[in-house]
Every structure is written in structure tokens, then in C-alpha cells.
């Protein structure tokens, strides 16, 4: 049930934090970053550059959080060893 | 207890903000508002206030900083005019949309081009629909009184809307008058500490200004319009409480000799004093004229306006700004809409005057009254929009 104008919190406030986490910005993607884990040297440059905090740190290489990754391609551009390729969805 | 001190309009604004114990001021100086910011920064430098004064690089930043501070629960004051207000335009909507009770004094000044630093109301009228409560002051005393009352109205938890306190550039900003000021403690009691419904607080995180698409935006805006209605209702309590404290009575509109008036002039701001003076003179000659001056412009006092004009047979509405290409100036449009919505059909004409600081003379006002009296007799208006004071 959606709230009426009398029920919505004033000013469009959402009375809790971290709500962007629930929003599936992954829906916006046209190209998807794919990581070649054999090439990845785990330098974390992509992790620093990703504007959506969508790079996941693992023990030996990185992974992508496709729920939030919107496919901007910055990670692929910045990866020094070309471990990331952008593939059409 | 109150005392009388000599203050200019700008000094009165700064003095009122000081007594209102504002937590944050973020402002950028612009003629003719500059002295408000200068005086206030002196209070800060002298340790007379505990206010956080933020020096910003533009009016856009000034309003942005005000928004952040107000979200955190601070009482916030700023001042601007003209190009500065225009530069804030984007942020004005964010302040009202986020329901932040910021008070801003606006020293009305013309907009460029051509560049001009003198008074007209183009600046505020250009941001007319920004969702702010808007009041217009006639003199220095009113600037002082309205700056304080504005906090009370804005901060009401049923209202939570920002207020723009307008006063004519130079005519009021730079005029020195005797001003009745309240005791600090009285203002403190009148305003009490600002309360909030929601605020930025790291211990209790909330999301402000989130993306709101077609599924919720409309509801949020509908609710914002309801806040304007609440402001309209609560307005009476504010002015009544202030009257009890100060002895000065405000209302939605100031009515002058309207009970038996045939013709009336409606105008905003400092011009009203001159218009009343001329009306008095004409009354002595037996002409039945009256004057109506709205203090409150947004929300527009339609109900009270209709009541005040009950017996009036013709009307001249003075606009100190142009709405290019529109049928009438902004004030006249509202007046005509109000009359028409209640099927009151009397001859009304619009007078555009005073652009860029051009003075209107008593003789010109008298001529307007005479035209209105003629319209009351004939029931007709010859010229719907008249430019008074421009070289033909
Ligand atoms: S494509 Fe853009 S959003 Fe997605 S992981 Fe790479 S940098 Fe982040
Ligand atoms: S930038 Fe390239 S090499 Fe570095 S962690 Fe990311 S994918 Fe691996």
C-alpha cells in the first residue's frame, strides 16, 4: 500500500539511513564489467574508483556487486592490467 | 518593556536576527542589503552573539549552507536581494521542499539587465512560486517586527516553511527611523528554542532529499501546499501573540478608510504610506477613497481581501514589477483572480510603477485615485494596465 499525501513524512524525508542500499541501480546497466580473476592483481584501484561502491573485495581478487553496479565502465578504464572488460548485457 | 532606538532598515533586520538568537547565518553581501550582513558580522566579531557566521562565495552557497544548518536543527537567518536572490533560486525550492524554517530578509531591488541597484519587486516576484511564505514591510519598524515574527511562523511544527521578509531597497534599507525594540528576554520567550520533526543527526541517521519519482513526488508537493494553508491559519496566532508582547497589531492586510470607500488602491511595501497620505488629502475634499496593503503575500490572503473590499466599487492595483507578456502584474493577477472566484465584478485596473527605483509622486497617486473614482461611477475601465511614471 502506498502512502497518501496525508501520510508521507514531511519534505520527502525517509526516517532511516542507508536506504540507497535497497535501490537496485543495477537495473540501469547496458554494459557489465566482467573480471578476469587470472589477470587481477588485487591492487584495488577499481575499488577506489568505483563511484557506486560496487567492487567487492575478496581474498585474492575482486568481484562485482551487480545489484548496485550501474555499468559506468570506470573500473575497466582504470584497471592497470586490463583485467576488466565491459560486455553488453 | 521596550525602548526606542534609531535604526536603518538593514540595522533593524540585523538587530532582530541578533535578538532571535539565530544559530547560523550564511550570507553574501549585495547592495542594498549589505549592511545587514556587515552589522551581523560585527555582532559576531564583538562576541555579542553565539552565532556561527559562514562567509560564503555566492548566494547559491549561502542558501545551501542555510539548508544544511537548518536540517541539523539550527535557527537560520540570511539576507539577500536582486541578482543574489536570483542566484539562490534553485536552492529556494530545496529549502521549502525540505520544509526548512529559514528566515531571509530581502531588500527588494530591480533585476538586470540593464543593471540597476534601486528598488522594485522584480526579485521576489521572480521567485514568487518558490514555496516560501512572503511578507512585505512598509517601514523600518515593520522590518524589525516581521523578522522576529517570521521565525515564530516558520518554525511552527505544523508549518515548517521558510519565510522571506521583503522591504524596499534604499527606501527602507537605508532610512533611519525610531524603532521600538523589545527586551532580549521578551524575544527569547516569544520564540523559545527551535523544535524539529526530523533532523540530521549522526546518532539517528535519516535520509533527506532522496530521489522521489512519479510514485511519491506529487504527494510530497500536495502536502507542502497544505503547509501553506496551515501557515495561513497559524498566522493569526503569531500576530496576536506578538501584539500582546509589543503592543503593535498586525493582520493579513492593513485597511485604511475602506468601510465607505468608493474607490481603493491596493499596493505592497513602502508605497502604502504615500498612498494613505494622498487618500487622507482626498478625504478632506470629500472623495471617498481607501487603501489596502497586504502584509502577507504568500499564502495570499484572499478571504480577508474580499472582506476588506466588500463595499468598494472600483480598484486600482499597484505592481512594482512586470510579468512580461502576462495579462497583469503579479499582485493584480492575484487580486482579480480572488474577486472573480467569488463572482465579485467591479472595475479593476493595474498600475505598473516604480521600476528600477523610479519614485511615484503624490500627484501621480492622486491621478490614480481620480481614475478609480471615475471607474466607480461609470463602471468601466479605460486602460486595463497603466504605466505610471514612465516617459511617454
Ligand atoms: S562499471 Fe562502474 S559501477 Fe560498475 S563496478 Fe565498474 S566502476 Fe563500479
Ligand atoms: S583494478 Fe584491476 S587488477 Fe586492480 S583489483 Fe581491480 S580488477 Fe584487479
Ligand 2 atom at minimal distance to the Cα of residue A35: 7
Q: A43-57, pLDDT tens digit by residue?
A: 999 999 999 999 999
B99, B218, B226: residue with CB nearest A11 = B99
pLDDT at A20: 86
Confirm if B342 and B306 have CB atoms less than 8 A apart: yes
Indicate the pLDDT class of residue B327, thresholds 50, 70 and 90.
very high
A31 has which bridge partners?
A88
B79 has which bridge partners?
B105
Confirm if B77 and B43 have CB atoms less than 8 A apart: no
- A76 pLDDT more than 90: yes
Within 13 Å, how many C-alpha atoms sit on residue B327's CB side? 9
User: Which among B176, B174, B168 has a CA at the least distance from the CA of B355?
Assistant: B168
Best mutation target, B207, B222, B226, to test chain A (most A CBs within 10 A): B207
Indicate the pLDDT class of residue B2, thresholds 50, 70 and 90.
confident
Instruction: Give the distance from residue A32's alpha carbon to the nearest chain B alpha carbon, in angstroms.
Output: 24
pLDDT at B225: 98
Q: B349-390, pLDDT tens digit by residue?
A: 999 999 999 999 999 999 999 999 999 999 999 999 999 999
Indicate the pLDDT class of residue A1, thresholds 50, 70 and 90.
confident
Question: CB pairs below 8 Å between A and B: how many?
Answer: 62
CB burial of B157-193 (b: ≥16 within 10 Å; e: otherwise) equals eebbbbbbbbbbbbbbbbbebebebbeeebbeebbee
Q: B68-123, pLDDT tens digit by residue?
A: 999 999 999 999 999 999 999 999 999 999 999 999 999 999 999 999 999 999 99
- What's the rounded Cα separation, in Å, for the pair B62 and B52? 13
Q: Which chain B residues contact residue A8 at CB under 8 A?
A: 216, 219-220, 223
Q: A3-31, pLDDT tens digit by residue?
A: 999 999 999 999 999 898 888 999 999 99
Q: B233-276, pLDDT tens digit by residue?
A: 999 999 999 999 999 999 999 999 999 999 999 999 999 999 99
B80 has which bridge partners?
B106
What ipTM was reported for this prediction?
0.89
Alpha carbon A17 to its chain centroid, in Å, reads 18
Q: Do the chains contact at A5 and B219, CB–CB below 8 Å?
A: yes
Q: Do the chains contact at A11 and B98, CB–CB below 8 Å?
A: yes
- What's the rounded Cα separation, in Å, for the pair B377 and B263? 10
- B1 pLDDT more than 70: no
Q: B6-41, pLDDT tens digit by residue?
A: 999 999 999 999 999 999 999 999 999 999 999 999
Confirm if B262 and B289 have CB atoms less than 8 A apart: yes
Q: Which residue in chain A is spatially nearest to B217 when comparing CA positions?
A: A12
pTM of the prediction? 0.94
Amino acid at each position: 500500500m502506498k502512502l497518501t499525501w496525508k501520510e508521507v513524512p514531511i519534505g520527502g524525508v525517509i526516517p532511516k539511513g542507508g536506504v540507497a542500499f535497497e535501490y537496485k541501480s543495477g537495473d540501469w546497466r547496458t554494459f557489465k564489467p566482467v573480471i578476469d580473476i587470472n589477470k587481477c592483481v588485487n591492487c584495488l584501484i577499481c575499488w577506489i574508483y568505483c563511484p557506486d561502491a560496487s567492487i567487492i573485495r575478496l581474498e585474492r581478487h575482486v568481484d562485482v556487486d551487480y545489484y548496485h553496479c550501474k555499468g559506468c565502465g570506470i573500473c575497466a578504464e582504470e584497471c592497470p592490467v586490463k583485467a576488466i572488460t565491459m560486455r553488453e548485457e | 518593556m521596550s525602548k526606542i532606538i534609531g535604526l536603518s532598515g538593514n540595522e533593524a533586520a540585523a538587530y532582530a536576527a541578533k535578538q532571535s538568537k539565530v544559530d547560523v547565518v550564511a550570507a553574501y553581501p549585495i547592495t542594498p542589503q549589505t549592511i545587514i550582513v556587515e552589522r551581523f558580522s560585527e555582532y559576531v566579531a564583538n562576541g555579542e552573539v553565539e552565532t556561527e557566521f559562514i562567509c560564503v562565495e555566492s548566494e547559491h552557497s549561502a542558501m545551501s549552507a542555510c539548508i544544511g544548518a537548518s536540517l541539523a536543527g539550527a535557527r537560520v537567518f540570511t539576507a539577500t536581494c536582486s541578482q543574489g536572490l536570483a542566484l539562490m533560486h534553485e536552492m529556494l525550492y530545496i529549502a521549502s521542499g525540505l520544509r526548512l524554517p529559514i528566515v531571509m530578509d530581502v531588500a527588494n531591488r530591480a533585476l538586470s539587465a540593464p543593471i540597476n541597484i534601486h528598488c522594485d519587486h522584480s526579485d521576489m516576484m521572480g521567485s514568487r512560486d518558490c514555496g516560501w511564505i512572503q511578507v512585505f514591510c512598509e517601514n523600518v519598524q515593520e522590518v524589525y517586527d516581521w523578522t522576529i515574527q517570521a521565525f515564530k511562523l516558520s518554525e511552527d511544527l505544523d508549518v515548517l516553511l521558510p519565510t522571506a521578509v521583503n522591504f524596499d531597497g534604499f527606501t527602507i534599507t537605508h532610512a533611519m527611523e525610531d524603532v521600538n525594540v523589545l527586551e532580549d528576554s521578551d524575544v527569547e520567550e516569544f520564540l523559545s528554542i527551535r523544535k524539529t520533526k526530523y533532523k540530521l543527526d549522526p546518532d539517528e541517521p535519516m535520509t533527506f532529499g532522496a530521489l522521489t519519482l512519479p510514485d511519491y513526488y506529487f504527494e510530497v508537493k500536495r502536502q507542502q501546499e497544505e503547509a501553506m494553508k496551515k501557515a495561513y491559519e497559524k498566522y493569526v496566532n503569531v500576530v496576536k501573540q506578538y501584539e500582546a508582547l509589543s503592543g503593535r497589531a498586525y493582520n493579513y492586510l492593513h485597511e485604511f478608510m475602506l468601510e465607505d470607500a468608493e474607490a481603493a488602491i491596493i499596493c505592497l511595501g513602502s508605497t502604502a504610506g504615500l498612498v494613505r497620505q494622498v487618500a487622507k488629502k482626498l478625504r478632506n475634499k470629500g472623495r471617498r477613497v481607501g487603501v489596502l496593503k497586504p502584509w502577507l503575500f504568500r499564502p495570499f490572503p484572499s478571504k480577508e481581501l474580499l472582506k476588506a473590499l466588500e463595499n468598494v466599487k472600483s480598484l486600482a492595483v499597484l505592481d512594482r514589477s512586470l510579468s512580461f507578456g502576462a495579462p497583469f502584474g503579479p499582485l493584480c493577477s492575484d487580486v482579480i483572480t480572488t474577486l472573480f472566484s467569488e463572482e465579485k465584478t467591479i472595475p479593476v485596473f493595474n498600475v505598473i510603477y516604480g521600476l528600477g527605483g523610479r519614485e511615484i509622486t503624490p500627484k501621480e497617486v492622486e491621478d490614480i485615485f481620480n481614475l478609480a473614482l471615475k471607474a466607480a461611477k461609470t463602471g468601466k475601465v479605460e486602460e486595463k494596465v497603466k504605466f505610471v511614471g514612465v516617459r511617454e
